[in-house]
Amino acid sequence: MPLLPTSAPLRLALAALLLCLLVYAGVLALLWFAQERLLFLPEPLPPDTPLASAPDVHERVVEVPGARLSVLELRLPDPSGVVFFLHGNAGNLRSWFVNAEFYRRANVDLVMLDYRGYGKSSGRIRSEAQLHADVQAVWETVAPRYRGKRVVVYGRSLGSGLAAALAARIGPDLTLLVSPYLSMQALAAQHYPWVPAALLRYPLRTDEAIARIPGPVLLLHGEDDAVIPSSHSQALARLHPNARVVLVEGAGHNDLQQFEPYLAAVRAALAAR
């Protein structure tokens, strides 16, 4: 007597199950090998593209192993400090470095870099460790200029995990996280619960880093953010004894900067001593 029934319907069901498993395994393999293309949406620019036109905005390059990183800096005559800005997962400096006047009025310098493959930065993102090392390398080139001045580390969306990790290492006067995530693992679990957590090569554990930040943390989030729900900011705030959350009514993920309550909160944070 056979161990398993061999009826035609059962054979078809087993074949369908096997096909589903093979498709699932194929999708997981694609996610493993194509993670960079799914997480990062860089917009490259020709090397001769001008990024700076104002006389107080300076363009330069920071050499890192295997790449040259494009950096823009707003440098004021006598700034009270600096905002070291880590941008989100799409675009480049041309689309992110667009509100220099806001920082001029606050009398703070602004430093922003493009990750590998973004804008005029060369190379490719290959690991989370590489991302953290690149951020650290750029910070170290400007840090001596701001000794004794106020340092704000700012991270938006993708950049929030990088900013939290940098802040945990250097201890800025303020860490400003805008539309942050608990971790990329937690965010992926919300949007793609069928994907095993171990598959993610970019866990970006903001939740682990925030607990090690020595100074105050301000979290800003749109209440209507469908990409990274505001519950992430609220959960992060519970992990730090000196964290404050500002939820912006009506704001989503990409339009937060258009709302006056967001601008007012950033303005007040930059003016604080």
132-157 tens-digit pLDDT: 999 999 999 999 999 999 999 999 99
Average pLDDT over residues 53-61: 96
Q: Is the pLDDT score of 1 beyond 50?
A: no
What CATH class has 42-271? alpha beta
Q: Is the pLDDT score of 56 beyond 70?
A: yes
pTM of the model: 0.88
The contacts of residue 155 (CB under 8 Å, 6+ apart) are 85, 86, 161, 162, 163, 164, 175, 176, 177, 178, 180
The sheet carrying 150-156 orders its strands as 57-64, 67-74, 108-113, 81-86, 150-156, 174-178, 217-222, 243-248
Q: Which stretches of the chain are assigned E, i.e. beta strand? A: 41-42, 57-64, 67-74, 81-86, 90-91, 108-113, 150-156, 174-178, 217-222, 243-248
CB contact at 8 A, 22 and 30: no
Q: Where are the alpha helices (DSSP H) in 8-84?
A: 8-33, 35-39
> What is the token pair recorded at 21?
């498993």
> What is the token pair recorded at 155?
């991270």
The pLDDT assigned to 62 comes to 98
pLDDT confidence tier of residue 4, bands split at 50, 70 and 90: very low
